[in-house]
Chains A and B, each alone.
Chain A
Amino acid sequence: MTGIAAAPAIIELAGVEKTYRSAGGRRGGRGVGFRALSGVDLAIAAGEMVAITGPSGSGKTTIINLIAGIDRPTAGTVTVNGSRLDQMTEEQLAVWRGHTIGIVFQFFQLMPALTAAENATLPLDLARLGPSRERKAVASRHLATVGLGGRGERLPLELSGGEQQRVAIARAMACGPPILLGDEPTGNLDTRLARDMFELLKDLNENGTTVVYVTHDQALAGLASRIVSVRDGLITGDTVRRP
């Protein structure tokens, strides 16, 4: 198994393969298969900050999706926070994700009809964590943490790209998940904003959250404590940076 994890692994991928099939080719049949991962072993300890890098189509996003339970592996097992994801139903995965995983997408994916505060409260509403007033207070704290304390009533339409991404981070942290995943979380931001965003992620990591993010930017990857390189569906490198 690739990866240096002295502490207990909070994320484990063992022999994971993933092949995507399109729905039928031009002449019918089972369609074209695209092998995204060809046998990946990866262990990430609790509290690590890991950057997954690689060229386009290397399988980086697939790894993130498998960790989040958004996709299912074609072969192998995925264990996150002690739960075998391949043994859970979609409904169970959805509930599990609400408590365990926070996801930040490249294109923010905020609910356009909800304000910033409501977006940040949404995971708490879905998980029904605490009374309603308390959920709003928690969301407000998270918005303040990401520097948007006074802009909770704005709609996504009224926020800049950087502000939207901050709301996305606040939303991802709403339920206090032990793991935060980012799929090119700074891919849609300029360099300055990207660095600011990364600082936020680092703060979260220093507070105990395991952060795993995908980036094609080598400079941003270098800011993580561990870099996992992926190419053609295989892990080609796993480097721990000494502090």
Chain B
Amino acid sequence: MSTLTRKAWGDLTRHRARTLLAVCTLSIAIASLGFLAVPALLNAAMNRQIAGSHLYDVGISTSTLDLSPAQLRALGRLPGVGAVSPAVGYATTVTSAAGPQDVELAGTALASAPVNTVALFTGRMPGPGEVLADAGNARATGFAVPNGGTIDVRAASGRLVRLRVSGTGMNLYATPGANGSATPVFYAPTATVQALRGAGYNYLGFRLTDDTAAAQSRVVAEVRAYLTAQTGADPITALPAVRAPGQWPGQSGFNHIMALLYIITILAFASALFLISATMNTLIAEQAGEIAILKTLGGRRRQIAGITVRTAAVLGAAAAVVGSILGIAIAYLLAGYFAVKLIDVSFGFAVSIPVVVASLVLGPALAVVASLPALRRALRRPVAETLAGAGTSGYGSGWLDRLVARSGLLAGAGVPGSVRMGVRNALRQKRRSAATVAQVAVAAGLAIAFLALGQSVTAVISQTIGKLHFSISAGVASTRGARPFGAQALAVAAATPGVTGAEPVETSSVQHNGQTYTAWGLGTHPFYGYRLSAGRWFTAADTAADARPAVPPVVLGPAVARTTGARVGQILTLTLAAGPTRVRVTGIDTGQTNAGDTVYFPLPVLERLDGGPGTANSVWLTTASTAHAAIDRAATAAASRLAAAGYPVSTTEIYVAEAQITAADTVILTIVDILGLVVVAIMLMGLVSALSMGVIERTREVGILRCLGARARQIRRVFSAEAVVLAAVGWAFGVLLGWLMYQGLLALFLHNADVTLPEDFPPAIPLITLAGVVVLTLIVIRGPLRRATRIQPGTALRYQ
């Protein structure tokens, strides 16, 4: 081993504490690259899930059809059809230990279904008398029944049938999490559901040989013609669902989550780069004296640089190995947590090889590159100046030093000498102090930005909830013979004890450019608290029963407006059950209901477009009391009265839906909190490293103070004063940086994740951050100071 290489190695082994600190800091910085693996791992898990789901290309809801196996085979042989799976859906109520609940039962061939396969997550596939709970029920609907638990299902005959939950599973088409539904879903063999509801199927899922839009339309037409010929009437009851290639249910929400993750992982990566740069710069700057000595011995720049680069490379390599292992663990834990909590995806241990390779390569590379600026400065500095400045001076010659001295701020008798010395020490090593201030500024800025972001998300939750000014939604039950609401149904609902108002609403869906949006048909003064950013709501003329505008007016939700690029006054072509329809945009709403993906129609217009007057399928009810028990009673009474009048309904209490909306928006809050916390922790590691290294490098100074009779607490006061000053200055810069990052995050959320967040930056956030920074600073330097004051002064004086 050459002397130069031995020197590089010796530099590391001689200062073990410093080396360990540098490796730890670099490791954490490199481990944060593992964040980049999280979106990739989740994407891979979701792709596996999508592939395993065998999602439909065309899904057709029908009236109840008693299809024979031969007829099903014939459907499967229609031109363009690759596979067909019949299913029966049954909307009913169940009672369980968790209480009464509206649910959907999906009767299919489960794991053997060639279309819309149900994958098993836990437990086992259900046998007779058993069901599989959808894995998203707990998160999306709040209704969880554990494996082995039972539900008592109301059959069409009215009797209760007990079914046992054998496990959990999911199909992306049906899961409430992906579809934004608040209704829990259970899967069962077809025979089980038919026994409850009655014989027959009411849904056909098709996979096509050609998934283009034209092929989809042809298949729909073929199926319609075949079924009409078989049954004597067109049995299709709703707009056929078509899935564009590459699209899947819940994709929009998943993409939003991925966008959020990418934004924060990029922030984590930038923070990691900063941390690596600051650590290496500090480390190399400390070598200035030795570099000067090597120059006096005849060392050439390339030789001296080679030593430093070797040292940096070894540090970086060690950190890369440790950091990669840490990064794998971080990525796995984060991705696994998000997979379960946010998107209901089955997730096993996985490694993103590209990220691991990048970490192993980038570790040494970044450490070397980050050390070059300090190395260049040290090589250029004159030898005499460097050697003369070693261990002393740095304070007194600059304008800032004179300003501090002249201000007399610290000259007062009330200021302890140790504090005075500590504050001035902050100005001695200006470059090191500036680096520490920068570390604090970035850490504080990130903390402030994420706290403010959390505040904004919380504000969104209250804004979304506040828009629904009714207590109960009663919807038409999807059972045989159910009829839409008309004036009679409205009168029955309005006369229910406890109900103070009733509004008919139609909920449907529309398509535009392959995207499906929720459609609401509302009146002039709806129970929905709209707030428009542009244009106007519907007038009385728009919502008149006989209104027949040539180009109906619509109001777009904010996400629809963004996706379509539509403006007020613009004409759009939307596809409804009646076919393509031209509509005029009269207003743009700001509400986040249905994630802003709603198109609002005047009720009579939507009824007409969906097949004729009186097709309202919901009634919104207001109640005299907002107490949950009173709302529950009114909902039960309304459902009973409507059922007795020939309108079987399922009811949803809005306070329950509000809890689910809160849960949905809490997804964003969870991502912000967890990832934000980890990113801030990474930067705080940099602060820890900077402060610790500062104390270690001043070990000799501690020894001198000990020689002069200083007690340990007096020494702690000197260093604490210096650290607190640097922390406070860093915090001040961090407030500005944090505000800027917060604005940037709001803009990124809007443009990349399609999420509108209100600006909310209360003064409490910077103050909380200041307290946190100061407290953490005082805690951090305690360890190194305790070590320094325990060293014998003689040993401390000999420290180099």
Interface contact B397-A71, CB-CB below 8 Å: no
Interface contact A99-B428, CB-CB below 8 Å: no
Q: Is A109 an interface residue (CB 8 A)?
A: yes
**In the complex, what distance in Å separates the CA atom of A111 from the CA atom of B416?**
15
- Which of A99, A113, A125, A157 has most chain B Cβ within 10 Å? A113
Query: A23's closest neighbor in chain B, by CB?
Result: B16
Q: Is A112 an interface residue (CB 8 A)?
A: yes
Interface contact A90-B707, CB-CB below 8 Å: no
**In the complex, what distance in Å separates the CA atom of A72 from the CA atom of B793?**
10
Which of B330-338, B360-368, B419-427, B689-697 forms contacts with chain A? B419-427
Which A residues are in CB contact (< 8 Å) with B790? Answer: 90
Interface residues of B in 423-438 (CB under 8 A from A): 424-425, 427-428
Interface residues of A in 91-118 (CB under 8 A from B): 91, 94-99, 103, 105, 109-114, 118
Interface contact A68-B707, CB-CB below 8 Å: yes
Tally of contacts, chain A with chain B, CB under 8 A? 97
Query: A156's closest neighbor in chain B, by CB?
Result: B392
| Candidates B396, B418, B789, B793; contact of A158 at CB < 8 Å | B396
| Candidates A65, A95, A118, A158; contact of B709 at CB < 8 Å | A95
Interface contact A97-B794, CB-CB below 8 Å: no
Q: Is A182 an interface residue (CB 8 A)?
A: no
Interface contact B708-A123, CB-CB below 8 Å: yes
**In the complex, what distance in Å separates the CA atom of A114 from the CA atom of B416?**
13
Question: What's the least CB distance linking B471 to chain A, in Å?
Answer: 69
Q: Is B574 an interface residue (CB 8 A)?
A: no
Contacts known (A71-B794, A118-B417); A97 close to B395, Cβ less than 8 A: no
Q: Is B413 an interface residue (CB 8 A)?
A: yes
Q: Is B710 an interface residue (CB 8 A)?
A: yes
Interface contact A113-B427, CB-CB below 8 Å: yes
Which B residues are in CB contact (< 8 Å) with A91? Answer: 711-712
Interface contact A157-B393, CB-CB below 8 Å: yes
**In the complex, what distance in Å separates the CA atom of A123 from the CA atom of B703?**
14
Which A residues are in CB contact (< 8 Å) with B710? Answer: 94, 98, 126
**In the complex, what distance in Å separates the CA atom of A103 from the CA atom of B797?**
13
| Candidates B424, B705, B708; contact of A113 at CB < 8 Å | B424
Interface contact B417-A121, CB-CB below 8 Å: yes
Q: Is A127 an interface residue (CB 8 A)?
A: yes
Question: What's the least CB distance linking A240 to chain B, in Å?
Answer: 29
Q: Is A171 an interface residue (CB 8 A)?
A: yes
**In the complex, what distance in Å separates the CA atom of A103 from the CA atom of B794?**
13
Q: Is A133 an interface residue (CB 8 A)?
A: yes
Chain A interface, DSSP helix/strand/loop, else mixed: helix
Interface residues of B in 373-428 (CB under 8 A from A): 392-397, 413, 416-418, 420-421, 424-425, 427-428
**In the complex, what distance in Å separates the CA atom of A155 from the CA atom of B712?**
25
**In the complex, what distance in Å separates the CA atom of A94 from the CA atom of B796?**
14
| Candidates A65, A112, A125, A133; contact of B417 at CB < 8 Å | A125
Query: A164's closest neighbor in chain B, by CB?
Result: B392
**In the complex, what distance in Å separates the CA atom of A118 from the CA atom of B416?**
12
Interface residues on A, range: 35 or more
Interface contact B709-A111, CB-CB below 8 Å: no
Contacts known (A90-B792, A121-B417, A126-B714); A112 close to B708, Cβ less than 8 A: no
Interface residues of A in 37-95 (CB under 8 A from B): 65, 68-72, 90-91, 94-95
| Candidates B392, B394, B427, B711; contact of A94 at CB < 8 Å | B711
**In the complex, what distance in Å separates the CA atom of A158 from the CA atom of B418?**
22
Contacts known (A121-B417, A157-B397); A65 close to B794, Cβ less than 8 A: yes
Which B residues are in CB contact (< 8 Å) with A112? Answer: 392-396, 428
Question: What's the least CB distance linking A97 to chain B, in Å?
Answer: 5
Interface contact B424-A126, CB-CB below 8 Å: no
Which B residues are in CB contact (< 8 Å) with A123? Answer: 708-709
Which A residues are in CB contact (< 8 Å) with B711? Answer: 91, 94-95, 126
Q: Is A212 an interface residue (CB 8 A)?
A: no
Q: Is B207 an interface residue (CB 8 A)?
A: no
Which B residues are in CB contact (< 8 Å) with A111? Answer: 421, 701, 704
Contacts known (A112-B395, A114-B424, A156-B392); A70 close to B709, Cβ less than 8 A: no
Interface contact A97-B708, CB-CB below 8 Å: yes
Which A residues are in CB contact (< 8 Å) with B243? Answer: none
**In the complex, what distance in Å separates the CA atom of A23 from the CA atom of B428?**
30
**In the complex, what distance in Å separates the CA atom of A36 from the CA atom of B16?**
25
Question: What's the least CB distance linking B420 to chain A, in Å?
Answer: 8
Which A residues are in CB contact (< 8 Å) with B792? Answer: 70-72, 90
| Candidates A90, A97, A105, A156; contact of B393 at CB < 8 Å | A156
Q: Is A173 an interface residue (CB 8 A)?
A: no
**In the complex, what distance in Å separates the CA atom of A65 from the CA atom of B392?**
22
Query: B427's closest neighbor in chain A, by CB?
Result: A113
Question: What's the least CB distance linking B489 to chain A, in Å?
Answer: 84
Which B residues are in CB contact (< 8 Å) with A113? Answer: 395-396, 421, 424-425, 427-428
**In the complex, what distance in Å separates the CA atom of A62 from the CA atom of B441?**
45
Query: B394's closest neighbor in chain A, by CB?
Result: A112
Contacts known (A123-B708, A125-B418); A157 close to B395, Cβ less than 8 A: yes
Query: A108's closest neighbor in chain B, by CB?
Result: B392
Interface residues of A in 208-242 (CB under 8 A from B): none
Q: Is B197 an interface residue (CB 8 A)?
A: no
**In the complex, what distance in Å separates the CA atom of A68 from the CA atom of B708?**
10
**In the complex, what distance in Å separates the CA atom of A90 from the CA atom of B421?**
23
Q: Is A132 an interface residue (CB 8 A)?
A: yes
Q: Is B716 an interface residue (CB 8 A)?
A: no
**In the complex, what distance in Å separates the CA atom of A118 from the CA atom of B428?**
16
Would you mind naming 17 contact pairs between A and B with Cβ atoms under 8 Å apart? A70-B703, A70-B792, A71-B794, A90-B790, A91-B711, A95-B709, A96-B709, A97-B708, A98-B710, A99-B709, A105-B704, A111-B704, A113-B396, A113-B424, A123-B708, A126-B710, A157-B395
Tell me the B residues contacting A by CB distance below 8 Å.
Answer: 16, 392-397, 413, 416-418, 420-421, 424-425, 427-428, 701, 703-712, 714, 789-790, 792-795, 797
Known A90-B790, A112-B395, A126-B710; further 17 A-B contacts with Cβ < 8 A: A70-B703, A70-B707, A70-B792, A71-B794, A72-B792, A90-B712, A91-B712, A94-B711, A95-B709, A103-B708, A109-B704, A113-B396, A114-B421, A123-B709, A156-B393, A157-B392, A157-B396
